[in-house]
Amino acid sequence: MASYRRAIARACEQAFPPPEHLQPQTLEGGRRETRAAYRKRLTKAEKAELATWRRQHSWHPHQLRHNAGTHIRRDFGIEAARLMLGHRSLDVTEVYAEADHQKVQDVVRKIG
C-alpha cells in the first residue's frame, strides 16, 4: 500500500506543480538547487503555503475507502457499510462512512 500511496503522491506533484516561487529553482548552468538548499531558502511562511498547496492538490488512497463507505451507507445502510468495510464495530464504520445529511434535510422538509 505504501508504494501505491507514494505513486499517487508523485503523480499529484507532477500533475499539479506548486507555484513557481515554491518550486526548487534552476541555478546557473541548468542545475537544480539541492533539496537542502531548497529547504533552507524557503521561509516559514512559504513552507506553510507549500504544505497547504500540497493538501489542496493531492489525495490519499484511503479517501477511496471513505468515499465507498459513505456511498454504501447512504444506499444500503450502516450495517452493509460495516460488513463491506470489514469492521467489527459500528463505531469504526461511523468514522469511515459519513452520515447522509440529505436525509436530515428530507425529514425537515417533510415534518417542517
Q: Which helix (H) or strand (E) holds 42?
A: none
Residue 17 has a pLDDT of 93
Please check whether residue 33 is in contact with residue 25, taking contact to mean a CB–CB distance below 8 angstroms: yes
pLDDT by residue, tens only, the chain of 112 residues: 689 889 998 999 899 999 999 999 998 888 999 999 999 999 999 999 999 999 999 988 888 888 999 999 989 999 999 999 999 998 888 887 877 777 778 778 888 7
- Distance separating alpha carbons of residues 14 and 59, to the nearest angstrom: 13
Rounded to a whole number of angstroms, the distance between the first and last alpha carbons of the chain is 47
